[in-house]
Amino acid sequence: MLDLPFNHTVTLIIITCIISFIAFSKEQVMNRLIFWPPAIERGQYDRFISHGFIHADGAHLLFNMITLFFFGSIIESFYRQYLYDLGFVLFYLGGLIAAIIPSYLSNKNNPRWASLGASGAVSAVLFAYILFQPWKLIFVFFIPVPAIIFAVLYVAYSIWSGKKGNSNINHSAHLWGAAYGVIVTIIIEPRLIPHFLQQLAKVPFL
């Protein structure tokens, strides 16, 4: 079902790294691209996408881009067959938008709130991948974890941390990005539902 072309994945990573590194040293670039509600109200709608190409620091950038590289290269092979080979790029950019909208609606009147990073779109890619290979081992801080178990823990942690609300991480974007990745992929290929259930039943360690 999947092969492994990844031209668009690598292109997205290169563009994100270049823009992020520029923003690290140029505050005006960071301020212009970050998602900030007052700017949206002034009509700068490009920030729905531009915020995904800047990051808080090197570690934030590295984690997102490593995840995108390993899982994007696989999901691209599914999505690029749509919309004249641009399906994956549009899926990724759609993930940035879908992931940030709920946070924006909750904070549209809060000028002290802002958000940045590709995590919403990367979550979309990762959770789309889980539909294909739920028991595939992924490495979390060098610890191998089955993808489906990671997904459950990831969602639980994001919900718990989001309710605590004592960090600068936009957990809502992670959750909505993940939901977007699953829902859109299933809409495009409904046969993934029985495929996922069949794969899920094949527990490798039982």
Extract the tokens encoding 101: 């909208």
Q: What angle do CA 37, 58, 99 make, to 5 degrees?
A: 35
Banded pLDDT at 3 (limits 50, 70, 90): very low
pLDDT the model gives residue 194:
95
Lowest mean pLDDT of 12-26, 31-45, 166-180, name the range.
166-180
- Three-state SS at 139: strand
Sketch out the chain's domains with CATH numbers: 8-201 (1.20.1540.10)
pLDDT tens-digit readout, 158-205: 888 767 765 677 888 999 999 999 999 999 999 999 999 999 998 876
pLDDT tens-digit readout, 89-145: 999 999 999 999 999 999 999 999 999 999 999 999 999 999 999 998 887 767 888
Is pLDDT of 6 > 60? no
pLDDT the model gives residue 48:
97
pLDDT the model gives residue 74:
86
Is pLDDT of 21 > 50? yes
Q: Can you tell me the mean pLDDT for 32-36?
A: 97
Extract the tokens encoding 82: 């749509």
pLDDT tens-digit readout, 58-100: 999 998 998 899 888 889 989 988 877 889 999 999 999 999 9
Q: Going by C-beta distance under 8 Å and a sequence separation of 6 or more, which residues neighbour residue 5?
A: 73, 76, 77, 80
pLDDT the model gives residue 166:
58
